[in-house]
Structure 1
């Protein structure tokens, strides 16, 4: 709070400019310290056009006990006489004590009446002013105040001490307005003038400018509701029809409230009006429709005007697109909150409704019509603010379902790419370890036959090179077509050995046989070993013609496949002897890794192997 003082000599008036007073400076709840006697004519004082604040000097005029406050002060602070009577001004209202302590003490000491004028500024704009006479009478200090509102409404103080101007914007666009009636004088918000299509006039504070426009047919309804409210009814809701000065008939929803003191005497009246006209001119007279029209072509972004109100809400098309409701039949209800998946956000919205928080900005998951299988993702912003005794809200909703889906797909793609890189590194490492093991074994077994070691390693390296080349750009390591690999493997064997030794390689593979990389890697190495074993033992005569090695790989069922590898060589005289050599030991180990079963068989022209193996194995990835 900031205070500036000026003395107007010609008027003999001290002016006090008060800037941005906060709620805490305006009123603090403190315990009563002194008993106060009843004020005579208390009921009569409530009907005076001026406010009377009565203070009892204490401590030689350095502080003051509050005897009573005027009705305007009580209304602004939303308090009762019993909340302030018998308290020290310095403790109950530190802000006003700072403003009043010097003039009150001066009047206490001189007993001379003092003229003052108070100006209340919020956001550097004049919101309200009061002409005050400070009088010493009956050993008390009495402030007689005539309040004037520069904005046509009661003074509103927000938590941060700033006058909230959002209400004027909301009232303008939603065609709503409100009034207060205190001490038989009205304060009208700007929204009322938007509804009745005219500017503010000086005498508007002395009569009900809405009721005076009611058409004759609805006049009995006005008389009825006023009688009901005067008899103690605290709330009355109805629809009335008015005809504006420019001849437009409007339907107005009226929500009227009365406030009574502890003895049942009327203290003040408050009303909220909303233009709910449905005639053909509605779209031309309601500013909110022009605003909402700006969002007409946006099905992803929605403007929400007063979304916390179940009566006076206005939503753009995007909201109905998100919740998949027909705007003509939709009835706004707080049950819609139950369709939000996140319970924590449900709680935050309920806190917003109750006034326990001022704003909310969250990403929510929404079950359309409560269906968990039909969800949408939305970013929601809601802000709640009060204007007098009226609560308003505004918000935006953005449907980010598709964007979120694309973002999730991108995240999953990045994650999958990371997994693929790990997969490739893992396979390369394992295969190099396998090749290194085979090389160490053969160095000991064929230390005097380096050509055999070289042939074997070239064959293995060629098969693994094919495997890595074909899987380099793949995204699916579980469904690799085997036929393409075998064709390429035959081509490599033909280049490395076939042309040199005169051996032909022929293969027949089921075209729809797809294997995981866990299966295809050891299978190719088994085929390499069987092929090299056949080359070594089946064709001792390098000059013999028509040498051939054939492969046939078929699916036996949905879980098992079979490999038949044959040569047309010299055959095996002692099968038990060949099964003990190093090549066969490697084949056995690879078959075990493949979780398969292999057997040797003789046929009319040469030797063959039958290998059965599972089509699928558990897919694992190591870092």
Structure 2
């Protein structure tokens, strides 16, 4: 037996791949060691669709007595409860004991439910899989398993490996969605809910939530395509029209696929949907717009969503500044690569388009409108991946023309500074990856509050965009004036949130407070988190005069202080905020800053005092 483990962060699920498990590892006949009492409702449990396994912890959770196993185990192994109950799991099934022991002990100690998925591979093929919840209840460990074999399962939708989280991220922020249907039950991705503009509901797994919204004129088309897909047609592509619950008409590109057995019987179906409405963006704001808006006012850095797709691309405004095109009239075409000087990079991009490579990280020279006298130097990063039958891509384009010029000057004057610039810009690029981690955490914490996630992402993106923009215009990364950054950050917050929620932002910063980029980066993110917490909790009444103020001063030559204050409703139970996800993020950022943060309770509202060093040992290696 061979075991491989992965953690699916977006699903909060541990995935275990089990290869070629043997009968000896799966089940051994051993004598009964413990008497087991009768399980209540045993007859009822036998009629459940899901397997229910009951284990009794022993030896402080280092082993488990088998009380009961679900019918699936006995059906496949041809054994009965009397041959397995009252035995230790480690002796009866050493293979599964090795797979489960750490998770079972963790659930036993924490009493927190864990999710797992088991994929069973035989002869190089996925034979079946099980979705399992591990629950602590009545001083026992209970495993609730949903078992399915591989007949009719589309593996690209289930076993999507390293591409799964990227595909989910693309769909979360876009108008692209997908589903698969097995045994008359549907599984819908987040992108489908973005298209129909509503939250997930429990009954969605039992009906086609897209086709139920099709307008009357297009229902005959749906009936026709389903009939053909039911009777031998493997693929159907068409455009259908739906009307959302708000009455918005949308045009949906549908790519539907059916899988049949050797006798022609339908096994499963899956589909990909894309909102191709030409006017949908005028009637509603899409989640992808909030992501792109986080890059507003950044003329040097561009976010590229599906840049390899001529039909479904989404670019932040920085792209149009870099290539000097009008976003209103621009039409994406593969001919744009003709303006790239380096032939090797042109070929690498074409390899991405053809699916011959998965990633491109390089620096290119771009002739604006084909003019060799108007050249720009840009760093490009594009990653390509396939999801279902569709290829997706995501990347960044960064204008480093001025940076390149300054870099050449610094090379001639000082090799040390040249290395410093490279490392600092590399660090800023890595900050964008940190946003993905924050997003994954908040998707779980605020899964029913998408507006909270969007506000947080906008604020963080804006702060990092300010940081990135200004670092291109300085040659001293150890003495950056903090006041300029705070002024710009307030302007962004006022634009994104203040005008919407009627919040006033006031800041007072010592004009001679100069810090390194190592300090400014976490400091700006801490201010973002404190601001988002205040917006979320401090101002339930939007009609009053709500204000957030910041005062940053030097205490001495080594230490500075941030006083953050709102005039909101205050905190009834200060101990409760320690459980807040934002508080956890703030503590981690404060630790990175080598600072100390404390809650202030003096008068109306809520305040915090953050003390932090003015000078930190520089971590950039030269």
Please classify the TM superposition score into its range, dividing by the shorter chain length.
0.3 to 0.5
The TM-score, its normalising length taken from structure 2, stands at: 0.42
The TM-score, its normalising length taken from structure 1, stands at: 0.42
